[in-house]
Amino acid sequence: MSAPSGRRSAGERAPRRPTAADGVVVVDKPAGWTSHDVVARMRRVAGTRKVGHAGTLDPMATGVLVVGVGRATRLLTYVVGADKEYLATVRLGETTTTEDAEGERTSLSGAGGVTAADVEVAARDLTGPLMQVPSAVSAIKVDGQRAYARVRAGEDVELAARPVVVHELEVLAARPSDVDGVPVLDVDVRVVVSSGTYVRALARDLGVALGVGGHLTALRRTRVGGFTLAQARTLDALAELPDDVPAETLPLADAARAVMPERVLTPQEARALSYGQAIDPVPGGEPPAGPVAAIAPDGSLVALVETRGGRARPVLVLAPA
């Protein structure tokens, strides 16, 4: 007997979805998924193996994960470097092995004497340019191996401090709570940080500054550069697409505009860049410090350019001649 309409019989393979256009998909990552898990699912959704992500989110975290499809994977290096915004909850008075809720408790000193005003002062001191020691369970490589893998193997890992910028650390609420009869303080914060900043490490350092210890209990990324939760789609919603409909992507030009300034080209400039040739810089004013999205007259992304030696030179050509 044939399978009912709309259903596949046992062992029958699902048809491959049409390959999505080169571009970006902003995914609202669910809790419990690794960023690698999301990429694996998106390869099926996008109908191609050429899929990557910009900036790992821990399994506990949710929110904006920028996924590149096709040629957009070449843009991800520039997305990774964008500022990021988070909503987070820090529990003061308790510490864990991983500096978040997934680790084992290492201390429960309590935070009964800590006030909201104390937290505000400590948060101000953790704002601006800082030298931050990353979490020992981060993905930073130590002698070729991820730090978290070394920690899980029982090693003591010490990472060097690195410069980061905490643009904003806003205290939204401070809620007294109780853990095994010990008073703790749950603090909701909004954080805007430079690339490479660890919010878990901020939670740890906030607890250290207040003398009670602390760890992260919730984390939701709300923005990466110009990519926001308003654009994000859940994996469930993406999986509901009919098998014959390609996944919708944000075009390359729009994706580049989300993380860098743009320059609209003349037809002659677009042609030159497509051949990898340098063009004249925009006259007047200081050139941008980083890359610029060079947009053809038809609205497509030709290249990313940087001004060096008095010329605008392509650092990445997306529309070769």
Question: Which residues fall within 8 angstroms of residue 76, CB to CB, at 6 or more apart?
Answer: 52, 53, 54, 66, 68
Beta strands in the chain (DSSP E): 23-29, 51-54, 62-69, 84-92, 94-96, 105-108, 128-132, 141-142, 145-146, 162-179, 182-193, 214-224, 227-228, 262-264, 292-295, 301-308, 311-317
Question: Which has the higher per-residue pLDDT, 228 or 55?
Answer: 228
| Per-residue pLDDT tens digits for 254-307 | 999 999 999 999 999 999 999 999 999 988 778 888 999 999 999 999 999 999
- Same domain, yes or no, for 90 and 220? yes
| Per-residue pLDDT tens digits for 143-178 | 667 766 666 666 677 778 999 999 999 999 999 999
Question: Which has the higher per-residue pLDDT, 146 or 43?
Answer: 43
Identify whether 40 is part of a domain.
yes
Mean pLDDT, rounded, for 243-257: 94
- Same domain, yes or no, for 135 and 247? no
Give the number of domains in the chain: 3
Identify whether 7 is part of a domain.
no
- Same domain, yes or no, for 173 and 143? yes
How far apart CA 199 and CA 130 sit, in angstroms, is 13
The number of helices, as runs of H, and strands, as runs of E, in the chain is 8, 17
- Same domain, yes or no, for 173 and 305? no
- 130: closest CA among 55, 209, 187? 209
- Same domain, yes or no, for 124 and 215? yes
How far apart CA 280 and CA 302 sit, in angstroms, is 15
Identify whether 46 is part of a domain.
yes
- Cα 160 to its chain centre, rounded Å, is 22
The residue type found at 21 is A
- Same domain, yes or no, for 67 and 107? no
How far apart CA 318 and CA 77 sit, in angstroms, is 14
CATH of residue 54's domain is 3.30.2350.10
CATH of residue 313's domain is 2.30.130.10
Catalytic site residue 156?
Answer: no
| Per-residue pLDDT tens digits for 101-153 | 988 899 999 999 999 999 999 999 999 999 999 887 766 776 667 766 666 66
Look at residue 17 and tell me whether its pLDDT is greater than 90: no
Identify whether 30 is part of a domain.
yes
Is residue 56 very low, low, confident or very high in pLDDT (cuts 50, 70, 90)?
Answer: confident
- Same domain, yes or no, for 95 and 208? yes
Is residue 11 very low, low, confident or very high in pLDDT (cuts 50, 70, 90)?
Answer: low
Which one is catalytic: 58, 100, 186, 205? 58
| Per-residue pLDDT tens digits for 57-80 | 989 999 999 999 999 999 999 999
Mean pLDDT, rounded, for 1-7: 39
Identify whether 5 is part of a domain.
no
- Same domain, yes or no, for 265 and 156? no
- Same domain, yes or no, for 96 and 211? yes
Q: Which domain holds residue 67?
A: 23-82+226-252
Of 201, 234, 252, the residue that ends a domain is 252
- Same domain, yes or no, for 162 and 98? yes
| Per-residue pLDDT tens digits for 180-234 | 999 999 999 999 999 999 999 999 999 999 999 999 999 999 999 999 999 999 9
- Same domain, yes or no, for 98 and 218? yes
Look at residue 94 and tell me whether its pLDDT is greater than 90: yes
How far apart CA 2 and CA 59 sit, in angstroms, is 41
Is residue 12 very low, low, confident or very high in pLDDT (cuts 50, 70, 90)?
Answer: low
- Same domain, yes or no, for 160 and 218? yes
Identify whether 130 is part of a domain.
yes
- Residue 132, SS3 per DSSP: strand
Identify whether 4 is part of a domain.
no
Is residue 4 very low, low, confident or very high in pLDDT (cuts 50, 70, 90)?
Answer: very low
19: phi then psi, degrees, rounded to nearest 5: -65, 130
How far apart CA 180 and CA 253 sit, in angstroms, is 53
pLDDT of the residue at 147: 66
